[in-house]
Structure formats: C-alpha cells, structure tokens
Structure 1
Amino acid sequence: MERILEVSNLSVSFHTYAGEVKAVRGINFSLDKGETLALVGESGCGKTVTAKALMRLNPEPPGDIKEGSSVKFDGEEVLNMSKERLKKLRGAEISMIFQDPMTSLNPTMKIGDQIAESLKIHNKLNKKESLDRAAKMLETVNIPEPKERINNYPHEFSGGMRQRVMIAMALACNPKILIADEPTTALDVTIQAQILELLKNLQSTMNTAIILVTHDLGVVANFADRINVIYAGQIIEEGTTEEIFYEGEHPYTWALLSSVPRLDIESKKELYSLGGTPPDLLLPLEGCPFASRCRYCMGICREKMPPKTEISENHSVTCWLKHPSAPRIEKPDLLRRAQ
C-alpha cells in the first residue's frame, strides 16, 4: 500500500500559568492511502491534540510542538512548512471534520457560501462554479433539494444534517486524508450509523484515508482497519481492529472494551466503569501512566515505563504484563466472536 503519512516521536506541550502540560508524549504511527485508522481513548488523553498537530492547528503559543517531532505527508515535512504551504495543505490535501458542527459552522453565512469558500481558494473556481460544486457536494452527502439548501443557514439544519454539511465541506477539494474528530458524539445512535455509513461509502468512492478520533470503541468496530489506543498522551496499544477487539493485551484496552454496551448481557446488569482518574500531565511520568488505575499493577509498574512488546507484525503493546517474568493472568471475556 502507498504510505501517505508518517508520524514520528510527536510531542506536544502547552505552556500554562501552572507549568508545562505535556499533552502528547512521543507518538508514532503511519497511515496508508485509503486506510482508516482510529485514535481511541477517554477525554483528555491527547487524541484531538495529536490530530490537530498533523495540520499544525494547535495554537502556538501556548502550544508547542517539541524538537525532534516529525509529521511527513507524502514525504514532505509538515512541521517545516511555510504559512503559504500550510494554507494549500489545509482543506485541499488534509481536511478535518471538527467535533461540534454547530460551533464549527459560521451562523451568519449561508451553507453554500461556506462550502464554496475552500473551492474558491484551492480550486480557483468563480462564485457560480463554486456554488454549483457546493450543491453537488450536498447531494453527495444525501441532503435533499441541494440547490435550494445551499441558501439556508446552519440553524435551519438538524444536527445530523449539519454533520453532513461538515463532511461535504471537508471533502469538497478531494483531500488525501480526512480527519474526523468525534463525528458522531452529539448524534443519536440511528444518525450515528448513517454518518458512519456515509463516510465509509464516500471513502470507497474517493479512496480517501481517514483518521477517526473517538472515545467509543463501539463506533470503530466495523469502521476502522487499525486502532491506536492512547492514554496520557502515549500510544499504549496498537493493532488491527480484530486484534484489538479479540486479542487486546493492555488492561486499559480491556477497560475500554468492557465499557461498550453488549446485547448478550443481562439488561439490569450495571455497565462497567473504570475507576480513578488519568495522571496529571503537568507532572513527570516515572512509571506506567495507567498504574494507579490498573487492577493488575505490580511494583515495577510504578517505577519504570514498560518497554514496547511486539505481539505480531501489526500488533504491539506497552505493558509489563507482557514481560517474560510477569505472572500469568486470565484476560476478561470482553467480546465474543459471532458463532
């Protein structure tokens, strides 16, 4: 497969009155053309900061991408790009669907004008051509009467339709990479399924690579090719979707999987909830960042960061439980394969 994105040792900090918040700590991953990669973890783990860093969208200051970080798009270093080059990159080659469409869309501009804006900048289209293309994009994302709806304002659309507008805006210039930051969070489950199905269909026709940012493993089950599980600004497990769901090795991955509602458990059984809180990212992390919340925590977990262990060609985990000297434990029964 053709590799279009290579992220190496990505570290991002925010300088605050209380000190330096190390939000992302040495993240490494890659993305191939037409592939879907999910970045999964609870709120505050560094998913969105990582995604925005790929386009250098985190405000600088207070944000600071550390020296030694590398983000290569089609072999070109994004972190060394000029402001002019970044303008051409954003929207045309890498696009992003932001978390809340109501705050991301301009309430004073018509929908058609908002979609047409990037077309005028990147594709050099005139007003009529860009509005015709905007209507075509609304039709592509299954919004009825697109030629009339381009004259509507965001408040005249439902939540699900606003999210479709955001997708239309992001895909208007046929980008190579689409970053979707929690694209279904504020939607009910029926609309969530429709949005994910729409993204999947558009990806197959446009061959766009997708980075899906989410806290919900249930969303990525039938959508992502690979999953990176992020905790405290670090990737603690990565693998194919099947490997993470059925052969996950990190206790935090088990906790995320246990939090997904299942059809094969009693309706009155209490849903699993992970206790404790993530570590303070203002402080240095000496041991495993998950140690204080892990039921399998050993003495060494609080003293030293575990090494990365390769489980297979695509599957790796950062956990002391994979050390040859660690005690054997029985993994919880999280998700069963369909019989």
Structure 2
Amino acid sequence: MATAQTRRVSTDTTHERAGTATYTGRKPNPGSEFAELRRRVGEARLLTRRPGYYAARIAVVATCYAGAWVAFGLLGDTWTQLLVAAFLGVVFAQVALVAHDLAHRQVFRTRRPSEFAGLVAGNLGIGMSYGWWMDKHTRHHANPNHEDLDPDVGPGILVWSAEQARQSRGVTRIIGRHQAFWFFPLLALEGFNLHLSAVRALLRPGLRTRRTEAVLLTAHTVAYVAALFVTLSPGLAVAFCLMHQAVFGLYLGSTFAPNHKGMPAPGSELQKDFLRRQVLTSRNVRGGRLVDIALGGLNYQIEHHLFPSMPSPHLRRAQPIVRAYCAERGIPYQESGLVDSYAQALRHLHRVGAPLRIGRRP
C-alpha cells in the first residue's frame, strides 16, 4: 500500500469481511458481549450473501440509469428535461447506495470484484471517487460521532458541537448562527461537493487505484458535459446540471442525515466497547418497505454499524435480535420516525449554534 492510511483501510475492510469488524484492526474479544450477539445473528444465517437480491437490485438501478439517459436523448432541447434531471438525481443517489454496499462487501465477499464494481458505479457512473469515499466512510464506522476521528462530524461549513462553534471562523461562523435553517439547502450542494472531493483526492498521492480512478472519473465528466451541451442549449444545460446535482445531493445527504446527527458523541469509556459505541451513537428510522428502499437499508443504522458486511435485506430481520439483546444488556436502543429523526438532527444543530446567535464567544 502506498501510505499508512491506505494500509489501515485494507486492514479494516479485511476484518469487516469476516463479519466481526470493529474497523480498528482488532477483532472483538471472543468472550465479549458483541461476540454473543454475533453468534445469535450468525445462527439466524443473516451474514450470508444475497446474490439474487443484489442482481435484481443492480438490474433495476441500471435500467433506470440507462432509461433516464435514453429519455434525455429522445426529448432533446426542451425544458421538460428538468423532470429527467430530477429523476436522474434520484437514480444517482441509488447508484451511490449500491456503491456503499459494494464498499462494505455486502455484494461480493472478496476485494477485487467489490472494488471493480465500486469503481464502475462510483467513478464512471456518478463521478464520485470510490477510493476516497471508502476511506472516509471506514473512518466514520470506526469512530461514529467522534469529533476528532469521524470525518462526518469534523470541522466544516457546519458546527456539530460547542467546541467547534468556539473555534469557527468566517463563513462557518456566519452560517452556524442559523445552521438548522441552512442544513437542507446545503445538502443540495452535496453532489457538487462529492465531485470536487473526488478531484482533490486524485490530486493527492496515496490513493491506491489513483490512475484507474482518474481515467474513469474523466470519462464520466467528459461524457456528462458533452451530452448536456451537445443536446441542450447552454442555458438549459446549466439548468439541467443544477437540478440534477441538487436532487442528487439532497436525496443522498438525506439518507445519511437521520442516522447519527444529534446522537451522543462517544466518551472515552466507549472506545474499547464496540457494542455500545456503535449502538449508542446510532439511530434507527422506523418505516415500511418504502423507507427501506428509499434509504437503501440505512434506516437500520444500528444493525449496519454492528454488522457492516451484512447484506441490506437482512438488516430488517436482524433488528429484533439486536433490539432484544440490547434490552437484555440494558443498552438504550434509539428508534425514531423519519420526520422526527430529521427534527432531532435539526434541533441539535440549532442548539450547538446558539452561542453564535447571541453574539459572544461560546
């Protein structure tokens, strides 16, 4: 591996593949509470692969992807294309959710086919760096909601804690005053942020498949821009791009937002307790099959963090086992409705931004 960081990613995903990952390079103690939970889940055969499910899911998503571009070509230069742009934004998010499952080796057991399919889906399909995202997401799984170690709650345009508010400057400080209001509008920019992050990742050394990623990402970008500006007038091409990327970013960001935002940050006592660290920092979202499809199974966030290589259709079946086990051990198990989960995240953002609104240092 080129760097210590990429070596860590390889080690972590190797343990994940075994279904016993803590994402820290150490397997849980065989006598630990998590080991007993894993035994129960394993006896229910919920860690086995679901090739038929993923073949059908990928076929549906690929058909929608191809169908959207066929409709784009048939419609030509008309403002009706904005409907295609919105639909394509939803499809891009679904492709990203498939790439997420590929990265966790839910689809294929070994690295090579997982990586190949992930590069095709991520870099070529939607213009996102698969390697960059996998490294980022691996670090999130290792230490969810940890301000120093989880990149999803690290310093950025939003503040997630009083400490971050205290250190905020410039635009972050201005937005932080009313960041709950700005949260969803900012998610509409997440698609553009993913593309820019991909470019930045390729410009830095250390990405293991840097050359392949660069070729695929360039192919996506050239084909995308050419399709828009050859088929549409310049103004409509820009409008199509804005609509498409806004829906993509808003939808994809909304699938991840309910899962950890507003949940506790892990204290030092949880650093060695894998079971509690993953359960106490995660929130499940209640809902039926439609919610399962819309969120790609990420509504079962607790089960996903405990068993990241578990195929997404098994998460629903694992939930009663995990929930009952947590009740046995006296571990709080958080579930909320979809709207309430967003409300909790927004209340947290509003609360940590309060010191900035009253015009003094937190």
Give me the TM-score of the superposition, normalised by structure 1.
0.25
Higher helix content, 1 or 2:
2
Higher strand content, 1 or 2:
1
Identify which of structures 1 and 2 has the higher relative contact order when contacts are C-alpha pairs closer than 8 Å and 6+ apart.
2
